[in-house]
Amino acid sequence: MLCLNFQCNKRKCDEYDRGNIMIRCHLARLMGEHKMRISDVMRETGLSRTTITLLYKETALKVDLDALDKLCDLFNCSLSDILERMPNNDKSRTFNPKFHQK
């Protein structure tokens, strides 16, 4: 998994912390409510397994707007039902330029 900092190219970075994610993806919850599997979402939307899996596991670093639109159509929901911005209260995990030097 890559560090979430765009200036860091390290595969495993101490700055990456799952508990500090600011954007949450609720695809897994929506799929559960609709009793859908990844293969069902693939078939209905035409999205790749990789795209759906990354969103399902909340490990995606970026998301295509077309993918979000297809998911909103599939689940008949708004974007805010899929993505949610969470408050980031832990100010101790800010970017440390010394850590990311090459």
Residue whose structure tokens are 């408050």: 87
Is-contact 70 27, C-beta < 8 A?
no
Range of the domain at 64: 21-88
For residue 36, which phi and psi values (nearest 5 degrees)? -115, 145
d(CA 5, CA 87): 18
Can you give the pLDDT of all 102 residues of the chain as single tens digits? 344 444 455 555 544 445 556 889 999 999 999 999 999 999 999 999 999 999 999 999 999 999 999 999 999 999 999 999 987 765 544 545 554 454
Q: Does a structural domain hold residue 81?
A: yes
| Number of separate domains in the chain | 1
Q: Does a structural domain hold residue 3?
A: no
Q: Does a structural domain hold residue 61?
A: yes
